[in-house]
């Protein structure tokens, strides 16, 4: 029986890229005055995130790092048990 495997590094990079883009999109919407409830939620759950340039960069970096680690771990665990 053949089983599929995931590239933990590839999965981590893909999730990190998507998360970074999502944080940027949410931030741009927030700067334009939209999605204020979402901005408040992001500020509550991301250390240092706010609608300033440094705050947006911090939020993007945090999302990228956590998403990479989560994707990598998911891929590694999946491969171990698949």
Compute CA distances 63 → 2, 4, 6, 36, 56, whole Å.
34, 28, 21, 19, 11
Q: What are the structural domain ranges in the chain?
A: 8-81
Read off the pTM: 0.86
Distance between CA atoms of residues 62 and 80, nearest Å: 27
pLDDT at 1: 46
pLDDT at 82: 81
Residues 6+ apart with CB under 8 A from 22: 63
Rounded to a whole number of angstroms, the CA Rg of the chain reads 16
* pLDDT tens over the chain, length 82 residues: 456 889 999 999 999 999 999 999 999 999 999 989 989 998 999 889 999 999 999 999 999 999 999 999 999 999 999 8
């Amino acid at each position: 029986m053949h089983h599929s495997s995931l590239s933990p590094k590839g999965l981590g990079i893909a999730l990190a890229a998507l998360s970074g883009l999502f944080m940027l999109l949410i931030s741009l919407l927030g700067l334009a005055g939209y999605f204020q409830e979402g901005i408040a939620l992001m500020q509550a759950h991301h250390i240092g995130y706010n609608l300033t340039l440094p705050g947006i960069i911090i939020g993007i970096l945090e999302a990228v790092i956590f998403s990479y680690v989560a994707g990598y771990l998911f891929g590694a665990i999946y491969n171990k048990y698949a």
